[in-house]
Amino acid sequence: MANVTVIGAQWGDEGKGKVVDWLASRADLVVRFQGGHNAGHTLVVGNQTYKLSLLPSGLVRGKMGIIGNGVVIDPEALLAEIDRVISQGLKVSPETLRIAENAILILPLHGAIDRAREAARGDAKIGTTGRGIGPAYEDKVARRAIRVCDLAEPETLSFKLDELLLHHNTLLKGLGAPTFEKQALFDQLLAYAPRILPFVEPVWERLDEARRSGKRVLFEGAQAVMLDVDHGTYPFVTSSNTVAANASIGSGMAPSALGFVLGIAKAYCTRVGSGPFPSELHDDIGRLLGERGREFGTVTGRPRRCGWFDAAMVRQAIKVGGIQGIVMTKIDVLDGLPELKVCVGYRINGQEYNYLPAAMRAQAAAEPIYETIAGWSASTKGARSYAELPAEAVKYIRRVEELIEAPVTLLSTGPERDDTIMMRDPFEG
């Protein structure tokens, strides 16, 4: 049995949480490997809805969850999330959750910098969540970050705070924002230590043992390929690598351990925040997709921008993201539409492209080239097999497969766990 890596194939919010939850029933460990509490996964289990931002979705299935070194962790947000899901009946303890000792911490000053920069950008703002994820990653590569393991060493914590405050308070003053005092931050971090340190270990060692003993590992990505800091619609991206390759770096496992790579894509397309969106709809259909799909950000609550499925973009994400099969979600949202459109390429300043170029102005100028496909009147909601789908829905899926040059291996037909059709078992490789 192979391991499985799940990543987003659009701009995030594709339904990765439900897919990971569904797959986790047959995994032994579920690993988060990048991002922070700027991404959210919503899981509907019976009459209970779980909203997770940092905790691996496998915890809902009672599986061991691991927060890898590639994740940036806001300790206050983590502890609040743990308390919330425990109150909903989940078991979260050092027996069910482990945190990489070398993961980076997000401090209040990171959020302050994030929000002050966005305010200073004015109309050119990127659309960040303002939660400090980007500045925390900056500190990581600048080699001044505070890591989880530093909570066990007050002396280390003290001199690292000196360096951090020298840098960040200077920036905050320049942006006209309030600065931070060392003692308050120091005391706050030491107060977190007794609750967080029991979860901490070198998770790479546990993962290596899992590999040697033949346990199945499910890697859970956040955001999506088109928000990747290298391969996405830069600068309107997240601050980490979201492609499958980063599951290795962000967890401490070898690239050979990543297994089958599943990309998640909605049957239409959405985006939260600023940035190019060639197939975006500003009409009644766009509003209908948003209403039917309940398109609001799990973390921010912001309404998502909605549009037609962008096959050119997903094909690009498949190639750079290492995706071997697609999970198409929310096909039921398209029920009843007489005709559908799929973006098959772009027209930019009179020239046609079958991919989205890297240049910022070119991306902003991209106009969609559409192919029209017949819709269907019957419902797909809750279908558990292809035989239950309208013929036109099957034709839509088959045409999408041709355009993205990859198979649809799983189909989600509703929010419930078992509203899923499997054409190929990803754990079989």
Active site residues: 13, 41
Give Cβ neighbours of residue 219 (< 8 Å, ≥ 6 apart): 3, 4, 5, 6, 30, 31, 33, 244, 247, 251, 258
Bridge partner residues of 263 (DSSP): 7, 326
Pair of tokens at residue 296:
């609001």
> How many CB atoms are located within 10 Å of the residue 179 CB?
13
- Return d(Cα 22, Cα 25) in angstroms, integer: 6
